[in-house]
Every structure is written in structure tokens, then in C-alpha cells.
Structure 1
């Protein structure tokens, strides 16, 4: 092997490695972009889920307050109200 042949091999390897680096860099950029999009989507989903949970908690609190008020009302009128079997 002479110097010229080794120089050609070296140049060929340098081009191939450069192409590989470029391709790998592009793929890493796509991967990073996909991860960013996934992260943003998860954040939006978390916000929507928090809002729905807050709505459910509010409805449960409302039902509990209504039930509590109903119970107080029925306990206050217990002496005056009686259920009797048909005569």
C-alpha cells in the first residue's frame, strides 16, 4: 500500500463518518422534538384532568351539603312527622 492509497481510504472514511454524524444528528433532533411535543401534550392533559377532578369534587361537596341540609331538616321535624300503616 502506498501513501496515495492510504490517503484515499482516509478521505473515504472521513466522508462516511461525516455522513453518519449528520444522519445521527438529524435523528437526535427528531427524537428531541418528539419528546418535547409529548411533554407538552402531557401537560395539557394534566391541566384538563385537574379541571375535571375539581368539577367532580365540587359536585360531591354540593351533594354532601344538600344531604346535610336535608338531614338537619328531617331531624328538626322528626316529632311532628310520622309514617303510619294504612288504617
Structure 2
């Protein structure tokens, strides 16, 4: 092989090697961009999950408070029902003594 042919062959190999290096650099850049975008999206998803978790905790507190209020109202309604039942029973026992009369004008 002549020296000229060898130089042409080396230049061809060198140019192909440079193309491979450029391709790798482009791929590395794209991978970095994708990685950055992925981290940004995960950060956003983490933020949203944290926000939702706080809202759920707040709702849990409200539900617990509401449950306590409902229990209190249930007890009050049961007490009123018992008082009404006792009053009705007492009124029925004294049915002749108590009457509602209309006023004459």
C-alpha cells in the first residue's frame, strides 16, 4: 500500500470516528435534557401528591369533627324523643284534666 492510500484511509477512518463522537455527544445532550425534564416532572408530581395529602388530612380532620357533631346531635334527638314520649304518656294519663280550649272573643 502506498503512503497516499494509507493517508486517505486514515482520514476516512478519522472522519467516521468524528461522526461517531458527534453522534454520541448529541445523544448525551438529549439524555441530559430528558433526565432534567423527568426530574422536573417528578418534582411536580411530588408537589401535587404532597398537596393532595395535606388536603386529605384536612378533610379527615373535618370528617372527624363532623362525626362528633353527628353523635352529639343523635344523643340530643334521642333525649328529645324520650322527653316527648314521657310527656305524651303523662298527658294521656291526665287526659281528662288537661284540655285545650279555644278563646272566645
Q: TM-score range by the shorter chain?
A: 0.7 to 0.9
Please say which structure displays the higher CA radius of gyration: 2
Residue 50 of structure 1: which of 62, 67, 79 is its match?
Answer: 67
1:4-56 Cα distance to aligned partner (Å, 9 max, x none): 22122011101101101110111111121112112211211111111111111
Which structure 2 segments of 5+ residues have no match? 1-15
User: TM-score by structure 2 length?
Assistant: 0.70
Runs of 4+ in structure 1 over 6 Å off? none
Residues 1-87 of structure 1: pairs in structure 2 closer than 5 A:
2-82=19-99
How many residue pairs get aligned? The number is 86
Give the structure, 1 or 2, with the largest relative contact order (CA under 8 Å, sep 6 or more). 2
User: TM-score by structure 1 length?
Assistant: 0.83
